[in-house]
A = this chain, B = another copy of it.
Amino acid sequence: MIKIGIIGYGYWGPNLARCFSEADGAQVAAICDASPEARARAAKRYPGISVVSDPQEVMSDPTIDAVAIATPVRTHYGIALAALCSGKHVLVEKPMTETSDQARRLIDEAARRNLVLMVDHTFVYTPAVRKIRELVARGDLGDIYYYDSIRVNLGLFQRDVSVLWDLAVHDLSILEYVLGDQPVAVSANGACHVVGTQENTAYVTLFFGSGTIAHVNVNWLAPVKVRQTLIAGSRKMIIYDDLEPDEKVKVYDKGVTVANSTEQIYQSLIGYRSGDMWAPQLATTEALRTEADHFIACVRDGETPITNGAAGLRVVSLLEGASLSMKHRGGPIDLDVMRRAS
């Protein structure tokens, strides 16, 4: 039985507490939050569990094996480092850290101490994204042409990060998982319409060596909620709508057929294919529950998580590149150069 401490009981922490308390093989041993109101809610919901205000109390408890961190981004590095130094396995909320340097130091610390370091890239554990990865991996879509996502809604403005670090991180983690490829360049731009906050609207374009292009449109100031992604390949195309109750993933047998001979190319002979649409049945498992089970298994068996520290670092690096480009109104950033520099 793995004993887990939950650090942060604001918006996401209660979900972590619920999933770990229901999971087999684990037990929530402590909940920590600086806010008295949050602690009161935790105490009412989990009468038998220790509720504390200082993360240090969790770190110094030798019976606790692992911590799940759901605090503001700027505190991720400090708390995760303290946890690793206390010999605890770590599951940390996305984005992993504020900088790629911090992410690298956590990876090193975890490696040295042989501890599990996992990042909560929740969408990677949804049945929809897993199905999409399966379809892409076995070549059903052919060569991937583009990934185009819109992820907008009204609120919640974050204090310490822009909409890029809050919402685009989801798409970057999905891309990382589905494509299994790293972009070579990024161009991003955005705008801030509320004084005293960071960008609430942002657009990111990623260029891959394979010719794939990815585009992510994120916005905290939209009148309706949209979660829609188009993924097109040379053979098939996908629409992934996360708000659809039943048919989240639709696979279209549509596309263009290009003539092969030089002569025909000069004539721009393009034929359109339009065939059946198919919506595969998806499991109804809750993503965070799947993720909790995976974390428990990694801790127990010493395995490497799917969304390990390296995956978290890659996403943070992309966010850094995009943020830099956004300061230059879309001026492209060469990610290979950035990687070599680090």
The interface of chain A, by Cβ under 8 A from chain B, is 47-48, 145-146, 148, 150, 152, 154-155, 157, 159, 185, 187-191, 193-197, 201, 203, 205, 207, 211, 213, 215, 217, 219, 221-225, 230, 232, 234, 237-239, 243, 245-247, 250, 252-256, 258, 265-266, 268, 270, 272, 274-281, 325, 328-332
- Which B residue's beta carbon lies closest to that of A273? B154
The binding surface of chain A is classed by DSSP as strand
Contact residues in B for A247 (Cβ distance below 8 Å): 277
Whose C-beta in chain B lies nearest to the C-beta of A264?
A: B196
Query: Which residues from B are CB-within-8-Å of A189?
Result: 187, 205, 207, 213, 330, 332
Query: Closest approach, in angstroms, between the C-beta of A155 and any C-beta of chain B?
Result: 5
Q: A194-B256, A330-B325 are in contact. Are A268 and B157 (CB under 8 A)?
A: yes
* A211 to B199 CA separation, bound complex (whole angstroms): 12
Specify which of B223, B252, B254, B270 is in contact with A197 (CB 8 Å cutoff): B270
Are B221 and A232 in contact (CB-based, < 8 A)?
yes
Known: A270-B194, A279-B277. A232 touches B222 (CB 8 A): yes
Cβ–Cβ contact A146 & B278, under 8 A: no
Q: Do B272 and A145 touch across chains, with their CB atoms under 8 A apart?
A: no
Q: Which residues of B contact A193 (CB under 8 A)?
A: 145-146, 211, 234
How far is the CB of A171 from the nearest CB of chain B, in Å?
A: 14
Is the beta-carbon distance between B201 and A146 smaller than 8 angstroms?
yes
Contact assessment for B215 and A203 in the assembled complex, using a CB-CB cutoff below 8 Å:
yes
Looking at A225, A279, A328, A329, the one whose CB has the most chain B CB atoms below 10 A away is: A329
- Chain B's nearest CB lies how many Å from the CB of A18? 11
B191 touches A146 (CB 8 A): yes
Contact A230 B332, beta carbon cutoff 8 Å: no
Alpha-carbon gap, A201 to B325, bound state (A):
20
B residues in contact with A258, CB < 8 Å: 194-196
Partner of A331, one of B274, B280, B281, B331: B331
Give Cα A254–Cα B265 distance, bound, in whole angstroms. 45
What separation, in Å, do the CA atoms of A213 and B288 have in the docked complex?
Answer: 36
